[in-house]
């Protein structure tokens, strides 16, 4: 008989139930952008979300992260109903739990590479510790950024992508969400980033969910969810 999951593992199970989300078009008419009756992701699992542009991949990641609320249904992380939390509590949950690689990066142009990677530390302390600085430098090196003192404003799009990935890993999150994490990279760097995401998740036991068109990345992930017009195909 297989062992029962530990209470700690069960506490980190991601469960989406009866999810529906509508947007409004230019005429004010509602249209369904996401309709997902059920999705359960076990702790430490890796999931790739695929599908054509506009099918709801990014929307689903934003719902999981609590950046959007569903029109109906719930998003739960263990015993926490993320979709039901007030905004301040959702912010706190994200800081404690989540690393998010945004498609548009959201870097601070005036900060250097290391400063952007260490940005999550600024939410809990006004001054970066020596260990935090060392971790930022180590992550910069790991994603292939040789000069951690260059400002984000002068980086190429591919370099910005790698900074965003390193920043998402800074706090060793239990849940890693990545929206097209290899989209701005050449094949060699894309493979390196795929390796980094999968290895980082394996090392920490984190759950990894990637929305991507990159078939090489999707092949590295154990589970697949294919979306078509907001529905699971």
Assign 186 a pLDDT band (cuts: 50, 70, 90): confident
Burial code (b: 16+ CB inside 10 Å, e: under 16) for 89-108 equals: ebeebbeebbbbbbbebebe
Assign 11 a pLDDT band (cuts: 50, 70, 90): low
Is the confidence at residue 167, as pLDDT, over 90? yes
Q: Which residues lie closer than 8 Å to 208 by C-beta, 6 or more apart?
A: 45, 46, 47, 176, 178, 197, 198, 201, 221
Cα torsion 205, 42, 136, 96: sign? negative
Q: Which range (26-30, 128-132, 166-170, 171-175) has the least confidence?
A: 26-30
Distance CA 134, CA 154 (A): 23
Q: Which residues lie closer than 8 Å to 225 by C-beta, 6 or more apart?
A: 39, 47, 48, 49, 50, 232
Residue 196 confidence (pLDDT): 87
Map out the domains of the chain with their CATH numbers: 7-230 (3.40.50.300)
| Beta carbons within 10 angstroms of residue 78's beta carbon | 18
Q: Kindly compute the dihedral angle of the four CA atoms of residues 80, 209, 107, 146, in this order, to the nearest 10 degrees.
A: 130
Nearest partner of 181 among 108, 105, 95, judged by Cα: 105
Is the confidence at residue 3, as pLDDT, over 80? no
Q: Average of pLDDT values for 92-115?
A: 93
């Amino acid at each position: 008989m297989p062992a029962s999951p530990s209470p700690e593992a069960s506490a980190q199970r991601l469960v989406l139930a009866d999810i529906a989300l509508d947007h409004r078009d230019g005429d004010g008419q509602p249209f369904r952008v996401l309709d997902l009756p059920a999705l359960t992701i076990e702790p430490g699992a890796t999931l790739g979300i695929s599908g054509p542009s506009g099918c709801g991949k990014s929307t689903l990641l934003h719902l999981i992260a609590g950046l959007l609320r569903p029109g109906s249904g719930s998003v739960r992380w263990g015993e926490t109903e993320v979709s039901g939390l007030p905004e301040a509590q959702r912010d706190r949950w994200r800081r404690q739990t989540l690393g998010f690689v945004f498609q548009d990066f959201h870097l601070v142009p005036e900060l250097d590479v290391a400063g952007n990677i260490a940005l999550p530390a600024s939410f809990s302390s006004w001054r970066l510790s020596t260990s935090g600085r060392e971790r930022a430098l180590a992550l910069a090196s790991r994603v292939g950024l040789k000069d951690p003192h260059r400002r984000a404003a002068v980086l190429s799009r591919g370099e910005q992508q790698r900074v965003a990935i390193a920043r998402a890993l800074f706090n060793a999150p239990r849940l890693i969400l990545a929206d097209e994490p290899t989209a701005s990279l050449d094949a060699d760097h894309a493979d390196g980033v795929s390796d980094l995401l999968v290895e980082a998740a394996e090392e920490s036991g984190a759950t990894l969910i990637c929305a991507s068109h990159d078939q090489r990345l999707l092949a590295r992930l154990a589970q697949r969810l294919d979306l078509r017009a907001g529905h699971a195909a």
